[in-house]
Amino acid sequence: MSDKTVLVLPGKRVAVHKSIKRSLQATVGVVLTGLVILAVIVGNSYLVGRGGSLQGLNAWLSFIKRGDIQATMILTAVVTVLSVYWQRDLEKK
């Protein structure tokens, strides 16, 4: 069995090692989670009217810089990616 897999990028496909692909997928999950949290916090501060979007951006920055939040986001992304691959491997057998 090969340790290479295909990573699909805009306009091309690249053969990469499985661990690199999984790491990239987990990183994308962490970044997307951070962006969703940013949208929720800025949207909330905008709708409530307590200082506008700049206040929400500052609240997001103080939230996202916390080590426990970063660790939770990374752990969640890694566990999700690994569990998806584990389920796919079980389906192939």
Report which listed range, 8-12, 75-79, 87-91, is most confident.
Answer: 75-79
Q: Hey, where are the domains in the chain?
A: 19-92
Percent over 90 (pLDDT), the chain: 46
Task: Tell me the whole-structure pTM to 2 decimals.
Answer: 0.77
pLDDT digits (tens, 9 = 90+) for 9-35: 888 998 999 989 999 999 999 999 999
pLDDT digits (tens, 9 = 90+) for 32-73: 999 999 999 888 888 877 667 788 889 899 999 999 999 999
Q: Dump the DSSP string for 5-69.
A: EEEEETTEEEEEEHHHHHHHHHHHHHHHHHHHHHHHHHHHHHHHTSSHHHHHHHHHHHHHT-HHH
